[in-house]
Amino acid sequence: MADVTVHEVNARLHQAQLVDVREDAEVAQGRIPGTIHIPLGQLPSRLAELDRARPVIAICRSGNRSGRATQFLAQAGYDCDNMAGGMLAWQAAGLPTV
């Protein structure tokens, strides 16, 4: 469990499961292609949607909620990291969104 930069996340897009824990309205403003959208409050009840055999990177707006998601996922036995700076950092770096 670690904080990873947006550039590290971009390099791992096809290896890790990217879980966006923001709310619906935030995701509607733009998300990283290929992310799985599970709002933080729904994460405990939707763990079955994630593959335990693949690493997870949690994403939110600024890195705070995804940090909480990362802690929860680690306690549940997942190999997970937190995207530092969240979508604010991703967009500031000019990386692609849909």
Structure tokens belonging to residue 47: 């763990």
Alpha-carbon distances, residue 91 vs 26, 35, 61, 94 (angstroms): 13, 15, 10, 5
Using pLDDT thresholds of 50, 70 and 90, give the confidence band for residue 88.
very high
The active-site residue, picked from 60, 69, 73, 87, is: 60
pLDDT one-digit tens code per residue, 7-62: 999 999 999 999 999 999 999 999 999 999 999 999 999 999 999 999 999 999 99
The answer to whether residue 80 is catalytic is: no
pLDDT one-digit tens code per residue, 50-85: 999 999 999 999 999 999 999 999 999 999 999 999
Q: Decide if pLDDT at 1 tops 90.
A: no
